[in-house]
Structure 1
Amino acid sequence: MIFAEDLLHYIWKFRLYNQQDLCTSDGFSVQIISPGLQHHHAGPDFQNAKIRIGETLWAGNVEIHIRASDWMRHEHSKDASYNNVILHVVYKNDVEILNEQGLKMPVLVLEDRIEDSLLLRYQNLLYAEQAAFPCEKIIHHVDEFTIQNWLDRMLIERLEEKSTQILQKTALLKGNWEEAFYQTLASNFGFKVNALPFELLAKALPLNILAKHTHNLLQTEALIFGQAGFLNDSSEDLYVLSLQKEYQFLQQKYSLKPIEKHLWKFLRLRPPNFPTIRLAQFAVLMHKQNRFLAEILKAENPESINAVFTGINPSNYWTNHYQFEKEAKSSSKKLGQSSAENILINTVAVFLFAYAKENRSEKHHERALQLLENLPCENNFIISNFIEAGVKLKTAGNSQAIIELYNHYCSKKRCLACGIGNKLLKTS
């Protein structure tokens, strides 16, 4: 039966082998007092183990291999860091092993001590045909409490990872949290396809400049569309001309350099998602509020935070336009509910969490989690696959956790490191 060495690590760590009458290959009795702490870097696999071999109590490291000969294949005999290995745990004992000092290694063989049912569950989990993720066909056997506990951990892992990026950005901006929020919010407004040009726009139009003109919507639009590169072409459109007039003055006043217009992507986007519409919405949002983080930090509940991003409706020109000078059928260009929720999930909640981490604020930590628990579950192919497999997902906190689980565990088949995978392997 084929299996990875990681499985032996897992079996050793959780003592999932027959522990009756343990003995070395030389016949000395073995008592595992402590299997040690798993070590994921260079050196022996488990450190600080306590094991009685014969009459002697040993404290040291344990090395684990599928075959004893892997010791030689990995050239451990030439590495002095393996001289303190007190026990060599193997599945098959195919050769006698000596360490760097020429001493024979005590060997514990597990080949006849692991239940076939455990190996079969491992095979089914990692190698059976599946459409979406390794345990898709059997995850319904796992109790809801175990799944929810693991999802809670996955959510924190995801927020920790994202908040680290926020803290790095804030450090580069010399602790300017509002500027960091503004740049991240702009990137989020690009919704993947146009995330990069939106971020470049925010960097080309610093918040301290934009904030001086957010009381005037036309000037706000002129700065945003001008710095986005959309006001360089000649036009006879009265709205465009008014934007150009404002922008030319402001560009000269602040020595602004716009980004390249060709960076913006229109292809394969539905008209309501065109970057021109997103920029118009962004302009209204900035006109409505330009010191977002301060407002969010003082908000007492998720509803107050949500209110910051509701009612975002572009100026009248965009009612019958998706692009400059191209008139279209009148329709609402209001920022949709799903778009607002996307911003709350991927920018606001993450910033609250990062701010809480940096300032050791339990209040803002709880608000970040509360915000995600008050938003509905997202909808994408990853989340749909888990729901179809029987996993109950109700909130944005759940869906964010599932994305983390899939990206960092399922897609890499790290089932042995997953709480749900652990439960399935231990279930008879």
Structure 2
Amino acid sequence: MKEDFLHYIWKYKKFNTLNLKTNTEETVEVLSVGDHNHNSGPDFFNAKVRIADQLWAGNVEIHLRSSDWYSHKHQKDTSYDNVILHVVWEHDAEVFRKNNERIPVLELREVIDKGTLDNYHMLFANMQRWIPCENDLSVVDDFVWDHWLERLYIERLEQKSQPILQLLESSNNDWEAVLFKMMAKSFGLKVNGEAFFAMSRSFDFSLLRRLQQDLSQLEALLLGQAGLLENSVEDAYFQRLKKDYEYLVRKFHLANATVPVPQFFRLRPNNFPTIRLAQLANLYHTKKGIFSTLMRLESRKEFYDELRTGVSEYWERHYGFGIQSKKRARSLSKDFIDLLLLNTIIPIKFCYMQQQGKSDVDGILKLAQDIKPEDNAIVRKFNSLTKVTESAVETQALLQLKSFYCEKHQCLRCAIGNELLGRN
């Protein structure tokens, strides 16, 4: 038995509300359970209960045992002075206010709904499962799934907003600079994301603005700051970029000592850091003021049209310096643009609109629902238990569900867990 289960029982009145009595045999009528407090202080604020013939308005504290009041040292905390009812699983000690008045106690052990208690024990019977409810997911109503996954997706966007806002603060409220740093991280994918992100933060974005007209210098800046121009290569284009980069270092006092060198190992040639940085450079060379443009776009097709950038002529024939290959445009694929949308553009758009007081959740959901579902181990496992994925909204939501609810056993905060607990 856990205390948060008792919170659930009280919050949703999963107990026999008729003929309730305190430990001193006074009748109890619960008029309002109050507002659930997830921070410090009493568990429920502004509750209303009638004890005997007296109406009380105040706070409710919940414990497994009455004696936990003293174990948690509530008697020394003035924020508990307004507790009007002590709700417990087992009453094992009297609790008094500072003026020596006894705090009324309601013991739930004998009045709790038996079906809910049985469901609780069944849900938490085997904590070694992949997720606690894996044997029961298939019985959950589609309506519950749909609304919960939408909420989880928005919750995921809200969490992704926090590092974006931190970047905004460190970038002097320059949204263009924030977009570039987040785009750089996404261009690096899983293997080189942190290296590209560090590269993007190793110089002021105003320098990139100054160099946007010159693609060669833009490539020199990004490749040089990423540490990809340090070796000696017998290649004319490499030598040209290295010379340009050395000029930029001297003129703008650049340093890249803290930037990890990007990795090529086990990457397909299209994902080589040289190609991805060349694409990023070309994007910012051809698309001036791209932040404002992306914030205006709404449909997936519009983003495809705007972001289908290629590379400079040299990189159409090379994957690495001095290594020729068959000529290809090497423009961003639709799958890659989908990743940019999921990991960078939609979170920034969501955060930006909230900052502007123009939150458009429906528009954000519509855009994400047009993106095909992701394929990874977590999504595959959920789909083996019950088919729930139709778009990236669901797959992103499932990642949120697994990481922040299932793995932390937060079933009582989960709509699926609540649905299963409430079964007959």
TM-score (structure 1 length as normaliser): 0.90
Which residue matches 1:388?
384
Percent identity over the alignment? 37
* Partner of residue 347 from structure 1, selected from 344, 348, 364: 344
Cα distance, 1:18 vs structure 2: 1.3
Q: Equivalent residue of 1:181, what SS?
A: helix
Asked if the contact 1:383/1:399 (under 8 Å) is kept, the reply is: yes
Distance 1:142 1:244, change over 3 A: same
Which residue of structure 2 aligns with residue 379 of structure 1? 375
In structure 2, the residue matched to 1:248 is: 246
Distance in 2, matches of 1:203 and 1:28, equals: 66
For the Cα contact (< 8 Å) 1:352–1:367, is it kept in 2?
no
After the TM superposition, which of the residue ranges 139-148 and 337-346 deviates more from structure 2? Answer: 337-346
Aligned 8 A contact 1:319 1:333 in 2: no
Change in CA separation of 1:411 and 1:332 when aligned onto 2, cut-off 3 Å: farther
Could you tell me which of 200, 207, 210 is aligned with 1:209?
207
Q: Deviations over 1:277-328 (max 9, x none)?
A: 322232232233242212212335331122222253564446453x334567
Measured after TM superposition, the shift of residue 53 of structure 1 is 1.1
Counterpart CA distance in 1 for 2:309 and 2:91 is: 70
1:420 match: secondary structure: helix
**Cα distance in 2 for residues equivalent to 1:305 and 1:147:** 29
AA paired with 1:372?
A: A
Letter in 2 for 1:409: Y
- Paired residues for 1:355-366 under 5 Å: 355-362=352-359, 366=362
1:137 paired residue number: 135
Aligned partner of residue 263 in structure 1, secondary structure: coil
**2:119 paired residue number:** 121
* Amino acid paired to 2:336: S
Letter aligned with residue 380 of structure 1: N
Give the Å deviation of 1:21: 1.1
User: Shift of the alpha carbon at 1:81?
Assistant: 3.4
Determine the C-alpha separation between the residues in 2 that align with 1:306 and 1:124: 48
CA pair 104-255 structure 1, distance change in 2 beyond 3 A: closer
Are the counterparts in 2 of residues 314 and 333 from structure 1 also a CA contact under 8 Å? no
Match of 2:191 in 1: 193
**SS at the partner of 1:232?**
coil
Q: How many residues align?
A: 424
1:60-94 per-position Cα deviation (integer Å, ceiling 9, x unaligned): 22221112222222233343433322222111122
Quick one: distance in 1 between partners of 2:41 and 2:258?
A: 51
2:198–2:258 contact (8 Å) kept in structure 1: no
Over 3 Å counting, the alpha-carbon distance change for 1:131 and 1:81 in structure 2 is closer
Query: How far 1:159 moved relative to its partner?
Result: 1.5
Decide whether the 8 Å contact of 2:279 with 2:310 is kept in 1: yes
Alignment counterpart, residue 109 of structure 1, candidates 107, 110, 113: 107
Looking at structure 2, the residues matched to 221 and 80 of structure 1 have their Cα atoms a distance apart, in angstroms, of 62
Instruction: Answer with 188-197 or 343-352: which moved more.
Output: 188-197
Letter in 2 for 1:308: E
Q: Residue 412 of structure 1 aligns to which amino acid in structure 2?
A: K
Give per-residue Cα distances to partners, 1:190-221, cap 9 Å, x unaligned.
22332222122222344433334434433322
1:58 aligns with 56
Q: What SS class does the counterpart of residue 231 from structure 1 fall into?
A: coil
**Which digits, 9 at most, give the CA deviation of each residue in 1:116-155, with x for residues without a partner?**
3322322232342554322222121111111111112112
Residues 419 and 216 of structure 1, relative CA distance in 2, 3 Å threshold: same
How far apart are the structure 1 equivalents of 2:42 and 2:189?
A: 45
| 1:403 pairs with 2:399 | yes
CA–CA distance in structure 1, aligned partners of residues 201 and 79 of structure 2: 50
User: What does residue 28 of structure 2 align with?
Assistant: 30
Query: Which residue does the alignment assign to 1:308?
Result: 306
1:355-406 per-position Cα deviation (integer Å, ceiling 9, x unaligned):
21111225x6544333212111112222222222214211122222222222
Deviations 1:169-192 (A, max 9, x none): 223222211111111111121223
Instruction: Describe the SS at the equivalent of 1:42.
Output: coil
Q: Aligned pair in 2 of structure 1 residues 205, 366: CA closer, same or farther (>3 Å)?
A: farther
Given that 2:279 and 2:309 are in contact with CA atoms closer than 8 Å, whether structure 1 keeps it comes out as no
Query: Partner of 1:74 in structure 2?
Result: 72
Higher mean C-alpha displacement, 347-356 vs 86-95: 86-95
Report the Cα distance in structure 2 between the residues aligned to 1:262 and 1:300, rounded to whole angstroms. 35
Unaligned runs of 5+ in 1: none
Q: Secondary structure at the match of 1:192?
A: helix
Does the aligned pair in 2 maintain the 1:219–1:246 contact within 8 Å?
yes
The residue number in structure 2 matching 1:419 is 415
Specify the SS of the correspondent of 1:204. Answer: coil
Distance 1:306 1:132, change over 3 A: farther
Q: Is the 8 A contact 2:317 2:324 kept in 1?
A: no
1:16 pairs with 2:50 = no
Q: Which structure 2 residue ranges, 5 or more long, are not aligned? A: none
TM-score by length of 2: 0.91
CA distance in structure 2 between the aligned counterparts of 1:81 and 1:262, rounded to whole angstroms:
49
Shift of 1:421: 1.1
1:124 is aligned with what amino acid? M
1:89 counterpart SS class: strand
